[in-house]
Structure 1
């Protein structure tokens, strides 16, 4: 299953924003939102449906961001040399209390192998993600770039699915062995995963 980076974050924010508006305050709220949206490249000038968009990351390659069950944190994969990652690693951040411009998110994947597709487990005390750490602690070689410049996602047979606590300690290996075991998503009540 191929996911578009950040699509679930955008869709969730869109849903939350649209469900919070009532008819009585819609015109007032629209005026307020228009006035406080900063003039940056983050905001598309012709956008009429979204406002008050908050850019969470800045710099590096950041993708696959998902909310915690209580909507107070996000988990995501990132390759940001300033954060010490040489290839995609898993991070989490309490975005309601902090700002990644001044605070570094917590790395959960211990900088071992390449990682992808993290997802909070029910209770928000652990995160599921895929990693190549069982094959090697080092970053695997990246695929050759496409001639048209489009992104290439490598499919490594060493990807296995792990669960780590918020300290970054692996507490369970859910799927291991040869094969591309990655891109897991947790069911709403946490009793199933699809990958």
Structure 2
């Protein structure tokens, strides 16, 4: 009887020990998860209610325009990170889930020559489109000199053309061959059209073309810079940024700058139209610079970057607004810069560029967050 009791008691102790060990193991796992969550939450500012589990991808330089693959697993982006021996922006891609750039330089898809911008995945996720100046020269094109009036200007390089490349960096096709600026290309979720900006008409307008570069169609025609266009989730509409100079002085300045290959992006609002350019409507009337728009997965809201609430010109945050211009909501709270938001095709995540966590430098890095509706 005593022996049986001892065996029972020993079994009880072993069971309790196993339970305690399991409990301690679970507690360690829980602590680890909480610690990781706390680290990710440290990248988030108060009142950023739509964002959770923010994760930093790049660590140095200017990293921007990160756009998702159709299958939600990869990102293509541009960077000028000096640690990667870059003189100016080149195109890279990375896995979204394991894309921590502290592990090394990601795969470069551009040639390393000239300057590049605005890469986007093509249907099938085995190729990308991007714009490059490399046919106009192997070196980085000159950056505009700072004006005496302090006006911030963007260069519109006339050597930009749009190319298709595979994920090994091999250029497969040149899509545009017109003289002048051709860039800012994105692809419809319907997988049938590309929208891009060109100055081939003498002004900066939006055009669409088939995936092979054929059937080029101009869809905007008002004076001003039309750019940064994206299709709605169903491919039926397009959202874009635009300047609309009104006074004689504004019109004169816009035209003179354009002749120099420059635009002043300090006064822009958001517009939407059908994919063929019809039913054009202005969405924002906020003043200052409203840009980098992208459709919410619902197809009736738009997330974008704006400095309209900032006291200084470089204070940009992300906002969301209904397509009809109502319901403005602030999404991010960085004191310096948040821009280039893009929802993953499944609507679960948001990638964006930000100055957060840069230890007081000017570095702009890429971040991924879970989207909380």
Calculate the TM-score normalised by the size of structure 2: 0.41
1:183 equivalenced with 2:184 (yes/no): yes
Distance 1:39 1:66 in 2: 21
Secondary structure of 2:119's partner?
Answer: strand
Distance 2:35 2:44 in 1: 11
CA shift in 2, pair 1:174/1:148, >3 Å: same
Write out per-residue CA displacement over residues 85-143 of structure 1, whole angstroms, 9 at most, x where no aligned residue.
Answer: 11011110112134211131111112111000000001100110000011011100011
1:48 equivalenced with 2:49 (yes/no): yes
- Name the structure where strand makes up a greater proportion of residues: 2
CA shift in 2, pair 1:34/1:101, >3 Å: closer
Write out per-residue CA displacement over residues 22-78 of structure 1, whole angstroms, 9 at most, x where no aligned residue.
Answer: xxxxxxxxxx88982327873213323311011111110111110001111100011
Gaps of 5+ in 2: 1-32, 197-373
Which residue of the partner structure matches residue 39 of structure 2? 38
CA shift in 2, pair 1:70/1:135, >3 Å: same
Which residue of the partner structure matches residue 140 of structure 2? 139
Larger Rg: 2
1:9-158 alignment, distance < 5 Å: 36-38=37-39, 42-145=43-146, 152-158=153-159
Instruction: Return 63-72 or 144-153, whichever deviates more.
Output: 144-153
Q: Contact 1:122–1:189 (CA<8 Å) still a contact in 2? A: no
